[in-house]
Chain A
Amino acid sequence: MSVTTASPGTFSHIGYVLRGNPVTLLSFVMFAILIIAAVLGPVLVPYDPLASEAANALQPPSWAHWFGTDNLGRDVFSRVVTATRLDLMISISAVTLSLMAGSVLGAVAGYWGGWLDAVLNRVMDTIMAFPLFVLAMGIVAALGNTVENIVYATAVINTPFYARLVRAEVNIRREAGFVHAAKLAGNSDIRVLAMHIFPNALPPMMVQMSLNLGWAILNAAGLSFIGLGVRPPTAEWGIMVAEGANFIVSGEWWLAVFPGLALMFAVFTFNLMGDGLRDIVDPRQRT
């Protein structure tokens, strides 16, 4: 990062964009709320998310239970807040994994080219040839139905986006003047690639990461909605919507609606933030 963005104008530019675009500021505030819920949530919630109380089942929202209680009498508010940590953990670790894998693959392919590049492109094309959610289902089914495998599956389906992005960014710079200069100064190929060329790809990567976090959460919640990965009674948004869906036809809406809204809130935050980051990183691409 420091190589490309630490010029003195950067912070004033960020400030300028934030002032001009309060929506981006809002998205940062929303992101902070999510992080607080993830870090402190389990401590702050009024009830144990797993403690059932049969006498108090299916109560509509009230002062005692802000989001009502579910069919086992568990407090929906506590469960929704507690679930933030798991959902964010799944998506952030998946996106981090795909970021790392994509960066290495893309940088190598973009810098050295040749048959490596050709093979990598074909592999990425093949992954993209699958409807991605369906491929994730297949991977989880093959690897086994656990939370870690949800992370791996989500990482695999997101890797092509990073690999392509890094490849393009590295490829256009491999003959640049500063690269030749760095090589003449005696830097090895790997060092030039890692320290001089790769950092240029980071700003667009941040945008991609933010957007991907939204997809990753949707993807993970979707997988647990169809019964993969997270198992009951764990609190997780997708599975809570799935459990709540059984009660929606009899009118107990709060079981499914609140976790669904939390999920939407998270995805919306990451999408807004991605658009905002794009304005900061690349003002030309503003839409």
Chain B
Amino acid sequence: MSPRLRGILFRIAQAIPVVIGVVIIGFVLTRALPGDPAVYFAGAAADAASIAEIRKTLGLDLPLPQQFLIYVGDLLRGDFGQSISTGQPVTADLANRLPASLELTLVALLLSCAIAIPLGVMAATRPGSLIDHACRVLVTAGVSLPTFFTGVVLIYLFYYLLGIAPSPLGRLDFIYIEPDRITGFYLIDSALAGDGETFLAALRQLVLPAVTLALFTLAPIARMTRAAMLGALSADFVRTARAAGLTGRTVRYTYAFRNALLPVVTTLGMVFSFTLGANVLVEKVFAWPGIGSYAVEALVVSDYAAVQGFVLAMAFLFVALNLLIDVTYTLIDPRIGFEAS
């Protein structure tokens, strides 16, 4: 087995305790906390007998370790329980709504990377310049922005005052028909169907929420890019490259930037976590039918299983993403191993 493959396998093994921990927290949130799910599931009009019966069907009369095993078994079969408000299995609901959230998140991240990375690089290569100060202001102001508030302000500016944005209600104006579901991403589906008009309409709906999320993620990415780039530019190998007479451009981009990219990729993992949380708020502001607004709707009617399913799904998504980033790392940079940590 090559050392690199062993490193990757080791990193995957490291994720296992975290996944177990996530499952335990999920179990604690559903079962061990105060509040009796049986009373809740039985409804307001239930008497003691029917509560006892429901307790039995739910398996709540069994000892906790046994309940935990049943819970894990259900999770392994992909059974997150039944949503009360939609009447569907939570897994099906989440799978249905996930593409909407992913489309929004990915477009927002692409957008903010496209702005933040060049900005950070420029700030680092010209310290003390106007663009450096602009970057610093943006970084401090950006982390202070409540996403839901940015969204509301953007709606006011672009929908009410300027009238150039469509009404902030969902992924597609009701006069358009949803594209046939292939990937669930409206942009991709409508492009595949060759339907330019729907594509544009979906894009118009997407712009404001994506910008809202992007503004939120801009700050950490720009900050990390600037810091990493500053670090790389002051490294010995850059001085050597300069001394060897390479042009400023080659030094900056081929030598410094490629080395600065690694910490930026790590930050992206963290930013993704923030974005998954902020998604919930942005989806509520723009009535975006993703898993975030699903969770909010579930919270409002105390739909327990749906909320738990959402929390667990987000955690698994995030663990998987971090794993992916770390594994990609070993492919980008051969120096990285996972031996000691």
Contact = CB atoms under 8 A, between A and B. Distances in A.
Nearest to B160: A251
B72 interface: no
Given A131-B274, A260-B152, A137 B146 contact: no
B68 to A, nearest CB: 15
A87 to B, nearest CB: 11
B67 interface: no
A251 B30 CA distance: 42
Interface stretch (A37-45, A160-168, A220-228): A220-228
B199 interface: no
B299 A129 contact: no
A267 interface: yes
Most buried by B among A139, A141, A244, A275: A141
A129 B311 contact: no
Contacts, number: 158
A136 B224 CA distance: 26
B299 A214 contact: no
A142 B312 CA distance: 13
Contacts of A228: 299
A126 interface: yes
Given A139-B29, A241-B148, A249 B21 contact: no
A264 interface: yes
Contacts of B281: 133, 222, 225-226
A141 B281 CA distance: 16
A222 B315 contact: no
A139 to B, nearest CB: 7
Given A131-B277, A251-B160, A263-B149, A137 B295 contact: yes
Contact of A222 (B18, B21, B29, B148): B148
B277 A134 contact: yes
A221 B307 CA distance: 19
A243 B274 CA distance: 24
B149 A268 contact: no
A248 B149 CA distance: 11
Given A129-B318, A143-B34, A271-B140, A134 B296 contact: no
B273 A132 contact: yes
Nearest to A133: B277
Contacts of A14: none
B33 A143 contact: yes
A23 to B, nearest CB: 9
A138 interface: yes
A268 B149 CA distance: 14
Nearest to A130: B315
Given A138-B29, A142-B35, A251-B160, A130 B149 contact: no
Contact of B307 (A137, A218, A268): A137
A225 B29 contact: no
Nearest to A257: B153
A138 B307 contact: yes
Interface string B141-174: 1011111110011011001100000011000000
Interface string B308-329: 1011001100110010000000
A58 interface: no
Interface of A: 122-123, 125-127, 129-135, 137-139, 141-144, 214, 218, 221-222, 225-228, 238, 241-242, 244-245, 248-251, 253, 256-257, 260, 263-264, 267-268, 271-272, 275, 287
11 contacts: A134-B276, A134-B295, A137-B280, A137-B307, A138-B311, A222-B277, A241-B148, A245-B148, A245-B152, A249-B168, A256-B156
Interface of B: 17-18, 21-22, 24-25, 29-30, 33-35, 140-141, 143-149, 152-153, 155-156, 159-160, 167-168, 227, 273-274, 276-278, 280-281, 284-285, 295-296, 299-300, 302, 304, 307-308, 310-311, 314-315, 318-319, 322
Closest 10 pairs between A and B when the two form their complex, measured CB to CB = A133-B277, A126-B21, A260-B149, A138-B311, A131-B276, A268-B144, A267-B144, A142-B29, A131-B277, A141-B307
Given A127-B25, A131-B273, A249-B155, 4 more contacts: A238-B146, A245-B155, A249-B160, A256-B152
